[in-house]
Structure 1
Amino acid sequence: MQFEHLGARPRIHPEAVVAPTAVVSGDVTIGAGCQVLHGAVLTAEGGPITLDENVIVMENALVRASATHPVHIGSHVLVGPTASISGATVAEEVFLATGTRVFNGARVGRRSEVRINAVVHLRTVLPPESTVPIGWVAVGDPAQMFSPDRHEEIWALQKDLDFPGFVFGLDRATPDLMIQLTERYGAALARHALDRRLD
């Protein structure tokens, strides 16, 4: 399904294949040889998404851009089932395994592997040819790798990355943080009420 969102329409190369149950919304460019499989969602929430040539986005993966955090995925990248990429840059020949998460402002270097259920956190820079092990978390610039049981060490780095400030423009110390966050973000997402289906 293709949708016009905020006046922008998807641009899909004639040699790309998008499954009929995939959702492509807004300012999305899909290059030659790309495959977007069933249930995948590519949603440009005010900023562009660009897939270079021969990118595979597998079942139920999510690729989301915002006005402040576009998404660029280089050629020959595989985005595994249920993986998500939000406002990040992924270089060429990267493997993002099933269930991986790549957050806003992150950059994944060429020929890197982010293995099953691993995370590349907010504003993290993963150098070329890096590997994030199964279930591990990469945090920082340059990235440091942590097993998931090292929460306190992850949080010590992650706290300074300021997720609510960087993504939503809100101070974590705000007493009604979640009220402001959900109302502001909800209003932005409500703009989908004006979307127009194109196919």
Structure 2
Amino acid sequence: MPHGPLYPFEGKQPVVDPSAWVAPTAAVIGDVTIGPRSNIWYHCVLRGDTNFIRIGAGTNIQDGTIIHVNAGRQATSIGDDVTVGHAAIIHACTLMNRAFVGMGATVLDDAVIEEGGVLAAGSVLPPGKRIAALELWMGNPAKLVRLLTVEQRAGFDKTAPHYVELSGRHRASLGGA
């Protein structure tokens, strides 16, 4: 199998760009599109059954993350060069280009992380909340902690290309899987 487990749901088949990588233990189900150079890591579940999931280019969805939708109301849209840390929950929300979601964080229905916004590890972004560019939010419920400098935010931007490179190494180690 070229990309790991891809499962149709009610006639909708996941679409994975040939340059993307999906770990063999991930499950990608239904109306899910994964863009160029994006990478979906071990034990992730992307379930596009009652709405769609769209993931742009160069995005990394790290191990154990769950991505889901809201039936008929809210899809999940993830832009380019987004990082979603290990064991996050991304539910019926929008992560714009270069958004950063820390390990174990949760983003709930209708929430938005704008380009360059950061949600800290372990935080919960409540439904309908919006993190603006260069904002760092933290806590449960997550609240604005401070604005990041451009230099501080640049450190977060190193993660997505690192994971693109690392996913290529995993693909090669698994014999092209």
TM-score by length of 1: 0.67
Q: Does 1:18 align with 2:22?
A: yes
**Which ranges in structure 2 are unaligned for 5 or more consecutive residues?**
146-177
Taking the aligned partners of 1:129 and 1:74, their CA distance within structure 2 comes to 16
Q: Which residue of 2 aligns with 1:5?
A: 9
Q: Deviations over 1:92-134 (max 9, x none)?
A: 111111000000111111101111101111111222221113x
**Aligned residue among 94, 110, 117 for 1:112:** 117
**Aligned residue among 60, 63, 66 for 1:59:** 63
Structure with bigger gyration radius: 1
Asked if the contact 2:135–2:144 (Cα under 8 Å) also holds between the matched residues in 1, the reply is no
Asked if the contact 1:48–1:65 (Cα under 8 Å) also holds between the matched residues in 2, the reply is yes
Q: Which residue of 2 aligns with 1:166?
A: none
Taking the aligned partners of 1:126 and 1:81, their CA distance within structure 2 comes to 20
Query: Which residue identity is paired with 2:87?
Result: T
Q: Deviations over 1:31-52 (max 9, x none)?
A: 0001101001100122110000
Higher strand content, 1 or 2? 2
Query: Which residue identity is paired with 1:41?
Result: V
CA drift of 1:68 comes to 1.2
**Aligned residue among 135, 141, 146 for 1:137:** 141
Higher helix content, 1 or 2? 1
Asked if the contact 1:24–1:41 (Cα under 8 Å) also holds between the matched residues in 2, the reply is yes
Taking the aligned partners of 1:117 and 1:7, their CA distance within structure 2 comes to 36
Q: Where do residues 173-192 of structure 1 align in structure 2 (5 Å cutoff)? A: none
Query: Which residue identity is paired with 2:34?
Result: I
CA RMSD of aligned residues (A): 1.3
Q: Secondary structure of the residue that 1:6 maps to in structure 2?
A: coil
Q: Deviations over 1:44-98 (max 9, x none)?
A: 1221100000010010001101321100001000111100110000111111110
Asked if the contact 1:136–1:145 (Cα under 8 Å) also holds between the matched residues in 2, the reply is no
- Following TM superposition, the consecutive aligned residue runs of length 4 or more in structure 1 with deviations greater than 3 angstroms are none
TM-score by length of 2: 0.76
Q: Which residue of 1 aligns with 2:93?
A: 88
**Aligned residue among 10, 22, 42 for 1:38:** 42
Q: Which residue of 1 aligns with 2:126?
A: 121
Q: Where do residues 159-170 of structure 1 align in structure 2 (5 Å cutoff)? A: none
Q: Secondary structure of the residue that 2:18 maps to in structure 1?
A: coil
Query: Which residue identity is paired with 1:110?
Result: E
Taking the aligned partners of 1:94 and 1:106, their CA distance within structure 2 comes to 12
CA drift of 1:6 comes to 2.2
| Count of aligned pairs | 140
Taking the aligned partners of 1:97 and 1:124, their CA distance within structure 2 comes to 17
Asked if the contact 1:82–1:100 (Cα under 8 Å) also holds between the matched residues in 2, the reply is yes
